[in-house]
Amino acid sequence: MSLFNFEFQIKTKIIFGENKIEKLNDSLESFGVKRIMLVVDKGIIEAGLIDKVEKILKKSDFEYFIFDQVKPDPTIEIVNSGIKFLLENKVDALVAVGGGSPIDTAKAIRASFSNVELADKISVDKLPLITIPTTSGSGSEVTKAVVIKDENTKKKFAVADENLAPDISIVDPIMTKTLPPQLTAIGGMDALSHCIESYVSHAAVLPFEMIATKGIEMVKNYLRPAVGNGNNMEARAGMSLASLFGGISLSNCGLGLVHAISHPLGGQFNIPHGLANTMILPYVMEFNIIANPAKFANIAYLFGVNIENMTEMEAACKGIEEIKKIKKDIGLDYSLNDFGVDKFEYIAELALKEKLMLKSNPRSIEKKDIIKILRRAY
List residues binding Fe ion (CB under 5 A).
190
- Give the residue with the Cβ less far from Fe ion, 36 or 285: 285
Nearer to Fe ion, 92 or 190 (CB): 190
Select 172 or 190, whichever has its Cβ closest to Fe ion: 190
141: left (phi over 0), alpha (psi -120 to 50) or beta: alpha
At closest approach, how far in Å is the CB of 28 from Fe ion? 29
Q: Please report the DSSP string for 45-79 in residue order.
A: HHTTHHHHHHHHHTTTT-EEEEEEEE-SS-BHHHH
| Least Å from the CB of residue 64 to Fe ion | 30
For the bound state, the minimum distance from the C-beta of residue 100 to Fe ion, rounded and expressed in Å, comes to 8
Estimate to the nearest angstrom the gap between the alpha carbon of 173 and the chain centroid: 16
* In the complex, minimum distance from the CB of residue 240 to Fe ion, in angstroms, rounded to a whole number: 16
Q: Write down the least CB distance from residue 197 to Fe ion, Å.
A: 8
Contact 257, 357 (CB under 8 A): yes
**Smaller CB distance to Fe ion: residue 12 or 135?**
135
| Encoded amino acid at 122, one letter | I
Nearer to Fe ion, 83 or 200 (CB): 200
Burial class (CB in 10 A: 0-12, 13-18, 19+), 68: middle
Strand partners, 145: 160
| Alpha-carbon distances, residue 62 vs 12, 37, 38, 88 (angstroms) | 23, 10, 12, 17
* DSSP letter, residue 133: E
Q: 171: which DSSP letter?
A: E
Distance CA 317, CA 33 (A): 53
Considering the complex, what minimum distance in angstroms separates the CB of residue 144 from Fe ion? 14
Comparing CB distances to Fe ion, the nearer of 75 and 249 is: 249
Residue 166 CB, shortest distance to Fe ion, in Å, is: 17
Which residue's CB is nearer to Fe ion, number 190 or number 217?
A: 190
- How many residues are given for the chain? 378
By beta carbon distance, the residue nearest Fe ion is: 190
Strand partners, 148: 157
Considering beta carbons, is residue 94 or 250 the nearer one to Fe ion?
250
Nearest to 196 by CA among 327, 25, 371, 339: 327
Q: Smallest distance, Å, CB 260 to Fe ion?
A: 11
- The Cα–Cα gap between 250 and 214 comes to 13
Cβ atoms 72, 186 nearer than 8 A: no
